[in-house]
Amino acid sequence: MTGYQEIFTDPSYSGQIVVLTYPQIGNYGTNDGDMESARPYIEGLVVRDFSPVVSNWRSARSAHQFLADANIPIIDSIDTRKLVRHLRTLGVMRGVLSSVSTNAPELIEKAKNLPSMKGLDLATRVSTVDSYRWTTAVDPVSLSERIGKLRPADYHVVAFDFGIKRNILRRLVSSGCHVTVVPASTSAADVLALRPDGVFLSNGPGDPEPLQAQAAEVRQLIGKTPIFGICLGHQILGLALGGKTYKLKFGHRGGNHPVLNKRTQKVEITAQNHGFAVDPESLPDSVVEVTHINLNDQTVEGLRHRSEPLFCVQYHPEAAPGPHDSLYLFDDFIALMKEAKR
């Protein structure tokens, strides 16, 4: 219903045509405050009704103009709910959007010849080239902000950028962290040279399996500093711990996925965007605890090391867009770093 700009600019959607099932998209425009990265990353957009009318006091330009400026194609007047049911029945497919008079067989052949997401290293493609410091917090006047005021910046966090969302960085700063963002290919030695109090592994697009080099570097960080991973970062941690990942039929998308926290026995409604999952059978139970489970399909949504300060979740606790049920995970990361500094 809301949050389309955050979806457009989430690097995790690199390489993907996005189908939105809410009937009308674009009616509140776009603005600089809702950017999750510097530009849109979706390959194309499919909607039922793309609103020509923009009505919101925060709007700086229409969603149509926002995507047009980035050369992102849009198709509307599509029965998007029927299309999504089709994708959920048969699985995610390669596709094309066409505005020219090309016959269907030619377009189908073009779609079939597109590369599969499987085996592609998209994370390195969207990662930052150079390290940088991030200092912006969550807007303290935002109705969604539960912290109320900034905490003192007591912890230095080095964040791997595999396609990181800005609201993750804002949450870390609001929680009391100095944040240094580093490229996806940064070595463990270079990270430790920055003397971090903790390391964060970000979300990102595509298949985690090609990221074996990154998993190997993360493996060298285990036991040397607290680690928190989200989404692709969760999957990379799974690989670093000796596990395997696999492709889901149609992935988890959207802001209403129920997840059971096995430690508290509470159910969190979560925002998710991923097409791969960690295989729990591939992880040694004596070393890794499964902490969160997806209640729709029983897939792994969270892991924690039994003896080292390390945990990760498959979903997006920072929201933007989505529910705020899981913001406590940032507090858990702070607690790990606080304990490690004693």
| Structural tokens at position 18 | 């996005």
232 CB-side CA count, 13 A: 31
Q: Are 303 and 291 in contact (CB under 8 A)?
A: yes
Q: Are 213 and 184 in contact (CB under 8 A)?
A: no
Separation CA 217–CA 110 (nearest Å)? 38
Pairing of strands 198-201, 49-50: unpaired
93: left (phi over 0), alpha (psi -120 to 50) or beta: beta
Q: Which of 231, 257, 292, 301 is catalytic?
A: 231
**Cα–Cα separations (whole angstroms), residue 4 to 9, 30, 65, 140, 238:** 9, 9, 14, 22, 30
Separation CA 267–CA 272 (nearest Å)? 15
Pairing of strands 227-230, 310-313: parallel
Q: Which of 64, 234, 252, 316 is catalytic?
A: 316
231 is catalytic: yes
A 10 A CB-CB count for 59 gives 16
318 is catalytic: yes
Q: Which of 6, 36, 301, 318 is catalytic?
A: 318
Q: Are 179 and 134 in contact (CB under 8 A)?
A: yes
Q: Are 242 and 282 in contact (CB under 8 A)?
A: yes
156 is catalytic: no
Return all residues near 38 (Cβ < 8 A) that are at least 6 apart. Answer: 9
Active site residues: 231, 316, 318
